[in-house]
């Protein structure tokens, strides 16, 4: 789980969400978490971003299906895809939340120290209402897969924010 159990008002928490291509799950988590911190009045205490392990979609908007399903829930999922950079992202971010076991394996394999490796967490570890080991990739699925991914992301981001705030 997270090493944070209450916010330090003198610190800005920098968190990164990572999935395979940065066009479905991680930009959705970015948008969901941003809205949650904004609604909680904590915008100035968080810097939120997302990235993909691969560079296939760098510069592109998220998958239209994820954007459409997100819009139905009131999210603006419009982050431009970027690739995860171990050299830049490990030193910069306080925590890195991955969507599945393959993401976890790849990102932790790029860590150069135990401290960097300890920053990597599975987003599914913060689920409170659903039971799932991962946030599955909806890319090759249908509308129900995008809805399920958003259900899990909303649940986990809510649990994650509760970890930070201690509420």
State which H helix or E strand residue 117 sits in.
helix 114-118
For the record, the structure tokens of 62 come out as 């998220």
| Given 24, 25, 82, 121, the catalytic residue | 25
Active site residue 19: yes
Q: Which backbone phi and psi does 20 adopt, to 5 degrees?
A: -70, -55
Active site residue 121: no
| Given 19, 24, 121, 157, the catalytic residue | 19
Instruction: Tell me what pLDDT residue 1 has.
Output: 44
Q: Which backbone phi and psi does 50 adopt, to 5 degrees?
A: -145, 160
Instruction: Identify whether the C-beta of residue 119 lies closer than 8 Å to the C-beta of residue 89.
Output: no
Q: Per residue of the chain (167 residues), what is the pLDDT tens digit?
A: 445 555 666 789 999 999 999 999 999 999 999 999 999 999 999 999 999 999 999 999 999 999 999 999 999 999 999 999 999 999 999 999 999 999 999 999 999 999 999 999 999 999 999 999 999 999 999 999 999 999 999 999 999 999 988 87
| Given 63, 89, 137, 155, the catalytic residue | 137
Q: What does 66-97 look like in DSSP terms, one character per residue?
A: HHHHHHHTT----PPP-B--HHHHHHH-SEEE
Active site residue 157: no
């Amino acid at each position: 789980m997270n090493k944070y159990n209450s916010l330090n008002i003198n610190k800005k928490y920098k968190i990164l969400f990572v999935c395979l291509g940065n066009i479905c799950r991680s930009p959705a988590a970015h948008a969901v978490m941003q809205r949650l911190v904004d609604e909680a009045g904590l915008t100035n205490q968080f810097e939120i971003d997302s990235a993909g392990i691969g560079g296939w979609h760098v510069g592109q908007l998220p998958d239209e299906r994820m954007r459409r399903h997100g819009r139905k829930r009131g999210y603006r999922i419009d982050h431009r895809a970027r690739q995860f950079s171990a050299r830049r992202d490990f030193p910069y971010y306080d925590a890195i939340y991955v969507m599945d076991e393959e993401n976890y394996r790849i990102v932790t394999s790029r860590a150069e120290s135990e401290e960097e490796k300890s920053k990597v967490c599975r987003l599914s570890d913060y689920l409170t209402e659903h039971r799932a080991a991962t946030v599955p990739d909806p890319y090759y699925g249908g509308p129900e897969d995008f809805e399920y991914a958003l259900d899990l992301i909303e649940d986990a981001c809510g649990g994650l924010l509760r970890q930070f705030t201690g509420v």
